[in-house]
Amino acid sequence: GENVEQHPSTLSVQEGDSAVIKCTYSDSASNYFPWYKQELGKGPQLIIDIRSNVGEKKDQRIAVTLNKTAKHFSLHITETQPEDSAVYFCAAHLSNTGNQFYFGTGTSLTVIP
C-alpha cells in the first residue's frame, strides 16, 4: 500500500503570516493528492487537490505544490486568518484502488489574532 507522512503535527502562526504543511508519499503510482480541513465536530472538508500531471495549483489564498521526483507535496496558506485554524490532512490516491485514500496524520494549525 501507500504510506503518507505529514509534518509538522502542530503549527502556530500569527494572523497574516503564511503557513506551510508538507507531506511525503512512498508509492510513485499515486496520482491524486487532496487536502482536507477538519474543524472541531465536523467531517473533513476538501479544500484543494492536485493531480500527478500538474506541478502547482492555486485557489485564492491556498496553493498546493507537487514534486513527483521527490514524492512530496505541500499546502501553502497565505495571509492566514483566525478562521483558518483547524486540523489539515493530506492524502494520496494510489492508482487502480477505486476511491481509496491514504491519509497523513494531520496538522493542527492555530492562527493567533
Partner 1 sequence: KAGVTQTPRYLIKTRGQQVTLSCSPISGHRSVSWYQQTPGQGLQFLFEYFSETQRNKGNFPGRFSGRQFSNSRSEMNVSTLELGDSALYLCASSLVGEGVTEAFFGQGTRLTVV
Is residue 10 a contact point for partner 1 (CB under 8 A)? no
Residue 56 to residues 8, 60, 66, 105, Cα–Cα distance (Å): 21, 13, 6, 23
Q: Under the criterion CB under 8 A, does residue 90 sit at the interface with partner 1? A: no
Torsional sign, CA 43, 8, 33, 16: positive
Beta-carbon contacts of 103 under 8 Å, excluding residues fewer than 6 positions away, are 4, 89, 90, 91
Q: How far is the CB of 2 from partner 1 (least distance, A)?
A: 10
> Which position has the grid cell 496520482?
31
Site string (58-87) toward partner 1, x via CB under 8 A:
------------------------------
Q: How far is the CB of 4 from partner 1 (least distance, A)?
A: 9
> Which positions touch partner 1 (CB under 8 A)?
31-32, 34, 36, 41-46, 49, 89, 91, 93, 95, 97-106
